[in-house]
Amino acid sequence: HFRNTLKEFSFLGTYDFLSSKGLFYRRRTFTPYISAGVGLLFHNPQARTPIDFGAAWIDLKPLNTEGQGKAGYSKPYSLRQLVIPLAIGIKIKYNSKIDIAFETGFRFTFTDYLDDVSGNYPNMWDLDSDLARKMSNRTLEDVSATNAVSRVSELTRLLAELNGNLTYIGADGRTYQTFNGYGRSTDQRGSPKVNDMYMFTGVKIHYLIGVGKQKTEPIRKRISFQFE
């Protein structure tokens, strides 16, 4: 589980597929459109700690759960990212000055860390704290951090399917346990080949200024710009 607070500032151009000739108050009742542009995303992935660490929501980036910043690992990811916004929608004329738009938006990012997961597991002894180790590999937690429900039966089933757990001694001399195929530096934690994206649906209200004073342009010129 995780959550992320996304704050985005975007500049988009909008293209109307259907033209309306004459004054704006005579525009079409229904106008499908597409928008695209560029934006800046501010984000902060979080997760709830295990029960024995208080089951509290914490920021994940400072923990470097994949060993970021250590020798042999990737550099720490940024909480500011470029984003390419794309949206499709339809505007409905409510009255002479107001349009209501229903829109679905897609956001293509240049990061794979919106959920703090991208590459392989790190060596557990390379992480700086027990909390970082716990948040990096949560496979053997016997109590759910989200609802405090026991996971023992689920763990029993998974251990049978994965041929039990693995116990090994780390370079720091400590003993570690994990599922077979999970939790070691050769095991895949995420998929770095594809960057993250997100989408949303929403309703917008457009208020038109100067209606009746300006004419609409033909379809090939019906391009507008907006800042969100």
d(CA 78, CA 12): 23
Can you give the pLDDT at residue 147? 86
| Closest to 132 in 3D by CA, of 201, 68, 223, 225 | 68
User: How many domains are there within the chain?
Assistant: 1
The percentage of residues in the chain with a pLDDT greater than 70, rounded to a whole number, is: 89
d(CA 226, CA 33): 13
Can you give the pLDDT at residue 88? 96
- Decide if pLDDT at 23 tops 90: no
In sequence order, which residues have a C-beta less than 8 Å from that of residue 29 and are 6 or more positions away?
A: 92, 93
Confidence at 29, pLDDT banded by 50, 70, 90: confident
Can you give the pLDDT at residue 221? 45
In sequence order, which residues have a C-beta less than 8 Å from that of residue 203 and are 6 or more positions away?
A: 100, 101, 102, 103
- Decide if pLDDT at 20 tops 80: no
- Decide if pLDDT at 145 tops 90: no
- Whether 107 and 114 have beta carbons less than 8 Å apart is answered as no
In sequence order, which residues have a C-beta less than 8 Å from that of residue 28 and are 6 or more positions away?
A: 18, 20, 93
d(CA 137, CA 143): 14
- Whether 92 and 107 have beta carbons less than 8 Å apart is answered as no
Q: What is the pTM of this model?
A: 0.82
pLDDT tens profile 152-167: 998 888 888 877 788 8
Mean pLDDT value of segment 215-228: 54
pLDDT tens profile 50-99: 999 999 999 999 999 999 999 999 999 999 999 999 999 999 988 888 89
On average, the pLDDT of the chain sits at 88
pLDDT tens profile 30-41: 999 999 999 999
Can you give the pLDDT at residue 24? 67
Host domain of residue 29 = 3-227
